[in-house]
Structure 1
């Protein structure tokens, strides 16, 4: 039965590509991906700064710089995408009542993510992580899950909000 339905859909629609978090909704949301992407932005900014300390950049250094910048921008976009999905798909009236500043917080994350794409100053990445951590704490609170803050175990060794599980 299901196979026939999918076959009919396949004959009716032509898909080049399909992307979704799921929009069913699957109820599987976690801000950890956004947090890791924000940490990656900071780490990439640190690596860019290290290259900037060199007096002359070799061709290999220039290629490395191009890769670092591209990855920094990719991860800043990933932060924005991951937060937008949780905000748009998970947050409903009860969560907005619990955290009435959610829209302003998400907008600040979007602006900070854009600043990270546009600039290489570490302070932009740190601000992004701070905002994403605030979002993560609010997210877990809406689920009744306590959180704690600890230094992540890899560079850039920044403070991250984690859920207390188990």
Structure 2
């Protein structure tokens, strides 16, 4: 049986991963604007627009327009482990082109599958991923250019078939 008042002591929180395997606990019982300010201060990312993604690359969307004054807990699962993501808006109409860059240096989490999932969620991120604007981590801390990875993936059976007919 729970002690009296124990339920009141349960604070909803998430674990935010960033940098070189750093972790930060953040209370989600607040407005999104307060959570974002807390993340900016404690991760020293003052200049960037931030969002959060699951460890599978599923964006939580706290940076989306209209969510700034909503309750953070409605977008985040309690005790969830999340990756801090930098949001870059590009072009004259900044809402049209968005690129998401994970701010975690961990090749076990930030891998090709993570980046592919993350890229699928922005209006223009998939195009940026295909254009080679993301770098895929390799073991040992080195990076490889995603455009080389995508060149291999672009050769579909149909394109190979066309190449065979043309030769």
Q: TM-score, normalised by structure 1?
A: 0.27
Higher helix share: 1
Q: TM-score, normalised by structure 2?
A: 0.27
Higher strand share: 2
| Higher relative contact order (Cα pairs below 8 Å, separated by 6+ residues) | 1
